Amino acid sequence: MLTHHRRPVCLSLISTDLPLWSKIETAATLYQKDKDRFHVLLSQAPFPNPDVQQEINRPLAPGEKKGLLWLELSPYRAIMTMQGNGRIGYRHFWERGVYGMSRYWLQSETQDSHGSFRLRNFTRSLVLKGQPLPEHLRIEYELWSDRLRLGSYVLSLEIHH
């Protein structure tokens, strides 16, 4: 039986070797699929437009869309999909000790111009804690393009009860 809970969450992505850090604090809906499988849905603010001065909590401009982040969690693997933003979409697959796929879809302002590309990620660590509902997810991974390492990253999800 599918059950759901509304919870405050904090999702962060940190690069351990590049000056990259991103954090989202919002409410999310946590769906329990079965004993060890969960879905977490949350809104992602639009990506910054370099031509516009960004302000925290500013209203969306006409045509600007929020994205939907969808995480599928289990103690063995995690999948994160971002869709609906209008400019970029992505899907990451992580499984401990495995080279997973990270795929990105890019769209420009014109309808005809879009593309996609794939990167590999190697998951060094995937830890999901909390019973009966998850409270913390931590994924440590490396991102690769062919034989070129693009950095090491830590994705952390805190689910507050």
* Sites in the chain below the pLDDT cut of 50: 1, 47-58, 60, 62
Round to whole Å and give the CA distance between 158 and 161: 10
pLDDT tens digits for range 41-52: 998 655 444 444
Identify the burial level of 112 via C-beta atoms within 10 angstroms of its C-beta, where 0-12 means exposed, 13-18 middle and 19 or more buried.
exposed
Token digits of residue 147: 């034989």
Q: Which pLDDT value is given to residue 83?
A: 79
* Stretch (H or E) spanning 122: strand 114-129
Q: What is the pTM of this model?
A: 0.81
CATH architecture label of 3-47+65-159: Beta Barrel (2.40)
Cα–Cα distance for residue pair 90/84, rounded to 1 Å: 10
Kindly list the domain boundaries of the chain, sorted by start residue. Answer: 3-47+65-159
